[in-house]
Structure 1
Amino acid sequence: MPLLTTSGAATLAYTDTGPPPGRPDAPTVVFGHGLLFGGWMFRPQTASLSAEYRCVTLDWRGQGDSPPAAGGYDMDTLTADVRALLDALGTGPVHFVGLSMGGFVGMRLAARHPKRLRSLSLLATTADGLTPARARRFRQLALVHRLVGIGPVRGRAAAMAFGASFLGSPESGPVLAEWERRLRRSDRAGIADAVRGVAGHPPIAAELGRVTVPTLVLVGEEDTSTPPPVAARIAARIPGARLERIPRAGHTLTLERPEAVTSALRAFLATA
């Protein structure tokens, strides 16, 4: 996996499919993952969309295959990391797809750096920040994971990350096994810093009126972390945003209902 070293001395892992054969000028789609995951959570989407687009994924600091950094786990610094990657790859404006934590970054990009984007897709995310109670739960998760790993909190984390229909289906077994395997090989300090970065991130809702690029808001109907009313508030604040609900999907809808998510993205990107 290629690596990018930022001006702040952070090392970031990313993937890049390159332009599709015969389409050197194809638009680029950049995917930003959710907490406790990596760019791999978009594997079904990049595998399908890479026939039409250049697809790039980025692992946030301390997650996936990106090693821990000395600091910079706040959303503003992660937004700067995306800008550094776009500059390094020479992509020009991109379609940005952000899930949960990736959506926090995507909204900042769209509101503050509109010339960087062609469109914005927000999946299972919130513009409101975390409630104090939810932030406390995240900080407790960070502490436990830092000290002893994912084992003691695996069930609670899985219930936050996945919907009931998916967890009750046989299809969940391989996905959950890969998710846990990747978490166990990650640096626990980096994961803890990432969790604390999410716990303390400020809201961006007041800036959404400045988003001018075409925007798609996707939410799983079984998402208990960022439920449909949260997605509806985002769509209501962004002029012209399109809101779609994915049945039988929870927070990690790209892996729970990959075909439905890919279909929604393909239809939106074709018109954005």
Structure 2
Amino acid sequence: MSLFVADTGEADLPAVLCLHSLFLDHTMFDGLVGAVAGRFRVVRPDFRGQGASGDASATVTMDDCADDVLALLDRLGLDRVHVVAQSMGGDVAVRVAARRPEAVDRMVLLGSSAREEPAEHLEAFRPIVDEVARHGFAGELLETTMQIMFGETVRSDPSRAALLARWRDHIAALSPGLSHAVRGVVERPSAVPLLPRITATTLVVSGGEDHARPPEWSDELVRGIPGAELWSLPTTGHSVILERPDEVVDRVVAFLSEGREDS
């Protein structure tokens, strides 16, 4: 599978692999790219069935995405990378880091988890996937998706209107074909048993207003990944790097830079 990849391309710099959230794409990490210019190479694929990688024709599983990411690392000759992942990106990241522990040095999991969707959520989400397949995102479904992706504090702040409008327009333009990727996330199996295999130094970032991946799911990551650290943001929702860009990007850059002589 050939993925669209935005790659800053500096072969002499340590590489950061950014794995995006469902409904969004590689551009959600634009702020991070600017912050690490000249210090890190940034590699940002769009997952199969999403973004500029185009629609899929069948359900895209989290293992499919992990396979794609590992193949991308091989193609680019990247033996060891840092990983920054949001939500679905975290589902993929923990699989990559468990399957090839030596390939991941430091890992940041933003609004992420490793568990399967609870049964009561599945009953609600499966009809939504079918609605996406029929009509895409509009009306009530669009507003529900925005409520999932962004916390109440940001949605209630008039100064953040431009941020919300930018991503509302993005989601409204998504193709019904995204349903194959959505179904893969909704139907994902648990990766919790994989967590003890991970050797990456890991920072877990959790929003207190995140209803898609609530704080207790982040706690589970911290318990399962040896030595993982938790950073909680009480007034932040699911998309932490977009809702609190300055603070989160600064913390991520500092975390990735630990141990570097030029940090």
Give me the TM-score of the superposition, normalised by structure 1: 0.90
Provide the residue aligned with 2:240 in structure 1. Answer: 253
Provide the residue aligned with 1:267 in structure 2. Answer: 254
Provide the residue aligned with 2:4 in structure 1. Answer: 13
Kindly indicate whether the alpha-carbon contact (under 8 Å) linking 2:102 and 2:199 is maintained by their aligned counterparts in 1: no
Provide the residue aligned with 1:201 in structure 2. Answer: 188
Provide the residue aligned with 2:163 in structure 1. Answer: 175
Could you say what secondary structure the match of 1:69 adopts?
coil
Distance between the aligned counterparts of 1:68 and 1:31, measured in 2? 20
Following TM superposition, by how much is the alpha carbon of 1:72 offset from its aligned partner in structure 2, in angstroms? 5.7
Following TM superposition, by how much is the alpha carbon of 1:138 offset from its aligned partner in structure 2, in angstroms? 2.4
Following TM superposition, by how much is the alpha carbon of 1:89 offset from its aligned partner in structure 2, in angstroms? 1.9
Provide the residue aligned with 2:150 in structure 1. Answer: 162
1:112 aligns with 2:94: no
RMSD: 1.6
Distance between the aligned counterparts of 1:104 and 1:144, measured in 2? 24
Could you say what secondary structure the match of 1:122 adopts?
strand
Distance between the aligned counterparts of 1:160 and 1:18, measured in 2? 34
Aligned pair partner of 1:122 in 82, 89, 109: 109
Distance between the aligned counterparts of 2:50 and 2:130, measured in 1? 16
1:151 aligns with 2:138: yes
Distance between the aligned counterparts of 2:123 and 2:43, measured in 1? 33
Kindly indicate whether the alpha-carbon contact (under 8 Å) linking 1:92 and 1:116 is maintained by their aligned counterparts in 2: yes
Kindly indicate whether the alpha-carbon contact (under 8 Å) linking 2:236 and 2:243 is maintained by their aligned counterparts in 1: yes
Distance between the aligned counterparts of 2:118 and 2:233, measured in 1? 25
Kindly indicate whether the alpha-carbon contact (under 8 Å) linking 2:83 and 2:93 is maintained by their aligned counterparts in 1: yes
Distance between the aligned counterparts of 1:261 and 1:217, measured in 2? 12
Aligned pair partner of 2:62 in 64, 75, 83: 75
Compare 168-177 and 33-42 and name the one that shifted more: 168-177
Distance between the aligned counterparts of 1:122 and 1:164, measured in 2? 21
Following TM superposition, by how much is the alpha carbon of 1:112 offset from its aligned partner in structure 2, in angstroms? 1.2
Distance between the aligned counterparts of 2:37 and 2:128, measured in 1? 35
Following TM superposition, by how much is the alpha carbon of 1:178 offset from its aligned partner in structure 2, in angstroms? 2.2
Provide the residue aligned with 2:213 in structure 1. Answer: 226
How big is each residue's C-alpha offset from its partner over 1:238-269, in whole Å with a ceiling of 9 and x where there is no partner?
11111111242110111110111111111211
Q: Which amino acid aligns with 1:75?
A: M
Q: Which amino acid aligns with 1:179?
A: W
Kindly indicate whether the alpha-carbon contact (under 8 Å) linking 2:35 and 2:253 is maintained by their aligned counterparts in 1: no
Q: Report the count of equivalent residues.
A: 258
Could you say what secondary structure the match of 1:95 adopts?
strand
Following TM superposition, by how much is the alpha carbon of 1:172 offset from its aligned partner in structure 2, in angstroms? 3.1
Distance between the aligned counterparts of 1:176 and 1:142, measured in 2? 22
Provide the residue aligned with 1:242 in structure 2. Answer: 229
Provide the residue aligned with 2:49 in structure 1. Answer: 62
Identity of aligned residues (%): 34
Gaps of 5+ in 1: 1-5
How big is each residue's C-alpha offset from its partner over 1:103-162, in whole Å with a ceiling of 9 and x where there is no partner?
011100111111221122111111111001212322222221222221130111111110
Provide the residue aligned with 2:75 in structure 1. Answer: 88
Could you say what secondary structure the match of 1:201 adopts?
coil
Distance between the aligned counterparts of 1:184 and 1:14, measured in 2? 23
Kindly indicate whether the alpha-carbon contact (under 8 Å) linking 1:232 and 1:243 is maintained by their aligned counterparts in 2: yes
Q: Which amino acid aligns with 1:14?
A: V
Query: In structure 2, do the counterparts of structure 1 residues 27 and 188 end up closer, same or farther at CA, with 3 Å as the change threshold?
Result: same
Gaps of 5+ in 2: none
